[in-house]
Amino acid sequence: MRFPIKKFLSYYRPYAALFLSVLACTFFVSLSTLVFPLLVRYVTKDVLEGDLSTALSKVYWSGGLMLVLAAIQNIGNYYVDYKGHEVGARMESDMRRELFAHMQKLSFSFYDQEKTGQLMSRITNDLLLLSELYHHGPEDYMKYLVRLIGAFVILFSINAPLTIAVFCFLPFLAAFSLYFNKKLNKAFLRNKERIGDVNAQVEDSLAGIRVVKSFANEHVEIEKFNRANNRFLDSRKKTYKAEAYFFNGVQTFLQLITIAVIILGSASIVNSTFALTDLITFLLYIGFMIEPIQRLTHMSTQFQEGITGFQRFLEILNVKPVIENKPNAITLHKVRGEIEFKRVSFQYEDHLENVFANLSLHVQPGEYIALVGPSGAGKTTLCSLIPRFYDATDGEILLDGINVRDIDITSLRNNIGIVQQDVYLFSGTVMENIRYGNPAASDEELIAAAKRANAHDFIMGLPNGYHSEIGQRGVKLSGGQKQRLSIARVFLKNPPILILDEATSALDNESENIVKESMESLATGRTAIVIAHRLSTIRNAQRILVLTENGIVEQGTHEALLARDGVYAQLYSKQFEIPIELR
């Protein structure tokens, strides 16, 4: 695949003026460094071998000029170092912002496949290395190419045959560098994948640290981490081996150049075709020429680190969201809450079987229905199709008679509130987590939502009330408290459609009763779909649907389904261990 040079350079555009000023400064500083050996040659050849009665003033004049050049170089290098790094940091910030914003748009199916640690590695480590290339790459190449070309011109003017002999080494050096650059590119890509695996393992282990400790399986996690860490170590060792071959090979070429200059230059002096002062100047400029070659060689590591980082950056950026708005998507205004599934089929991937097929369902506006059935029947999946977390494989899903594919995604999801079994609370305060339901809500509205969710009393019992920190994922709260905060969040959002996904299955009886009361209050006046594991929580549902691998096999009220003595009655009997004859 061709490298997208236009895309790569586009990130310079907002800072073009500042960046060009850095390059201009780099150019003039590099030119000034080429004057030093000429001043040394002037002093040693023209001044000290001429009239010594006037030599001292000329030496002072030359020394003064050297001081001026040194001051110019130091001021210029300060500007290049400071502003150059600033440009790199700004570009890194822009790219990280773009990548994170793009990740927010990607569909659930993307995150089903990716590891969080790998994504974190791309958004942090990769972009940090890329910013170093953006900053140092152009300025260093400018700096050292100016020195290399300038040294060649000056050396050619001193002794053309010797200069041509020296530069005969460079094509071989270029071929050698090209070969190892390709090897290093592969090595650095492998390194980034391996450190991503390490990050993924750390993230997975630390996120589940309570499970780890409850099973006393710290040694298992250490072994898993060591495997990932050792793979990264092996990858780094291979990289360093390739770097050692590369750098030492280049060093050998540079040593051969120096040896060639000494031998050929000395022979020319013996033959009286070359002056000793010219050989000294020549050797000084060879140093000026060798340093850029050495630096450019070491920069190949930085170049490959940055380029592979950019490749991985584009890999994510080029992933298109599976769920996208159609052109001229409809924005919802007044939602009644009528939901209809028309012969809907769904499968997560092409090679997997359908979760359900040809499923049809009609929910009236304001109706409170419950979905029950065995695990794996597709209850959560069915509800995930309404807000388009996934798209149906076949069939249509309508909201107020409009296909959900034709509705603007943000507008669609703004009208749906979801309370999940696995509540996710963000690090921060109670107030910040509730306000997530409606960032524009006032404190009074927020507190009213908490009261309706039966959360106000326990919140006021916390050390700082609504301003209490709850820890990562709400670890400082009980399961029931977390669930009530999530319900308060949806109260604050105030959507016309509500999905409750087994919101009480992990709670004790007391917490279940409180949350059940909050849920029923939340469902009042809305279209509500409740996925229930505990059948005691859905007795008041207007309609209960039993979903199995064969689709919706039963529906009706709690009493009607018990009287039918079918699948629902069997589920109810097993859960409450009621003998059939006593039911």
Max Cα-Cα span within the chain? 129
**Non-local CB neighbours of 41 within 8 Å, separated by 6+ positions:** 277, 278, 280, 281
Tens digits of residue pLDDT in 122-167: 888 888 888 888 888 888 888 878 887 887 787 788 778 888 887 7
Question: What pLDDT does residue 344 have?
Answer: 93
| Beta-strand relationship, 368-372 and 543-548 | parallel
- Comparing 254-263, 318-327, 434-443, the range with the smallest average pLDDT is 254-263
Tens digits of residue pLDDT in 236-253: 888 888 878 887 887 787
Phi-psi region of 436 (alpha: psi -120 to 50; beta: other; left: phi over 0): alpha
Distance, in Å, from the CA atom of 476 to the CA atom of 481, rounded to the nearest integer, reads: 10
Could you give the count of Cα atoms lying within 13 Å of 335 in the half-sphere of its Cβ?
26
Per-residue pLDDT band for 407 (boundaries 50, 70, 90) equals very high
pLDDT over threshold 60, residue 202: yes
Tens digits of residue pLDDT in 164-183: 887 787 788 778 877 877 78
Token reading at 252: 């050998």
400 against 509, higher pLDDT: 400
Question: What pLDDT does residue 210 have?
Answer: 63
Question: What pLDDT does residue 507 have?
Answer: 59
Mean pLDDT of the chain: 83
pLDDT over threshold 60, residue 539: yes
Question: What pLDDT does residue 496 have?
Answer: 92
Rg (CA), the chain: 36
- How far is the CA of 232 from the CAs of 192, 237, 243, 308, 450, in angstroms? 9, 9, 16, 16, 48
What phi and psi, each to the nearest 5 degrees, are found at residue 215?
-100, 5
- All structural domains of the chain: 5-317 (1.20.1560.10), 330-415+529-583 (3.40.50.300)
Question: What pLDDT does residue 306 have?
Answer: 84
- Residue for token pair 């009980």: 478
What phi and psi, each to the nearest 5 degrees, are found at residue 528?
-125, 130
How many Cβ atoms are within 10 Å of 283's Cβ, its own excluded? 15
Tens digits of residue pLDDT in 443-472: 999 999 898 888 898 999 999 999 999 887
Residue 398 contacts residue 404 (beta carbons within 8 Å): yes
Helix (H) or strand (E) holding 344: strand 339-346
Burial tier of 119 (Cβ tally within 10 Å: 0-12, 13-18, 19+):
buried
Question: In 34-169, which residue ranges form alpha helices assigned H by DSSP?
Answer: 35-41, 55-105, 108-113, 116-121, 127-158, 160-167
Residue 485 contacts residue 434 (beta carbons within 8 Å): yes
- Comparing 290-304, 409-423, 481-495, 559-573, the range with the smallest average pLDDT is 290-304
Per-range mean pLDDT, top range of 98-102, 290-294, 569-573: 98-102
**3-state secondary structure string across 183-206:** HHHHHHHHHHHHHHHHHHHHHHHH
Cα 96 versus chain centre, distance: 7
Per-residue pLDDT band for 412 (boundaries 50, 70, 90) equals very high
pLDDT over threshold 80, residue 1: no
Question: What pLDDT does residue 545 have?
Answer: 92
| 359: β partners | 344
Burial tier of 301 (Cβ tally within 10 Å: 0-12, 13-18, 19+):
middle
Question: What pLDDT does residue 583 have?
Answer: 46
Residues 377-396, mean pLDDT to the nearest whole number = 90
High-pLDDT (> 90) share of the chain, % = 19
Helices (H) and strands (E) in the chain, counts: 21, 10
Question: What pLDDT does residue 581 have?
Answer: 47
Residue 538 contacts residue 372 (beta carbons within 8 Å): yes
Question: What pLDDT does residue 565 have?
Answer: 86
**Non-local CB neighbours of 156 within 8 Å, separated by 6+ positions:** 163, 164
Per-residue pLDDT band for 296 (boundaries 50, 70, 90) equals low
pLDDT over threshold 80, residue 575: no
pLDDT over threshold 50, residue 323: yes
List, edge to edge, every strand of the sheet that includes 356-363: 356-363, 339-346, 394-399, 402-403
Residue 501 contacts residue 467 (beta carbons within 8 Å): no
Tens digits of residue pLDDT in 487-515: 888 888 889 998 888 766 555 666 667 76
Length of the chain: 583
Residues 410-427, mean pLDDT to the nearest whole number = 85
Per-range mean pLDDT, top range of 45-59, 202-216, 392-406: 392-406
High-pLDDT (> 70) share of the chain, % = 91
Tens digits of residue pLDDT in 82-115: 888 889 889 999 999 999 999 888 888 888 888 7
Question: What pLDDT does residue 151 have?
Answer: 78
At 346, is the secondary structure helix, strand, or coil? strand
Question: What pLDDT does residue 580 have?
Answer: 45
Tens digits of residue pLDDT in 8-54: 889 999 999 999 999 999 898 888 887 877 777 777 767 666 666 67
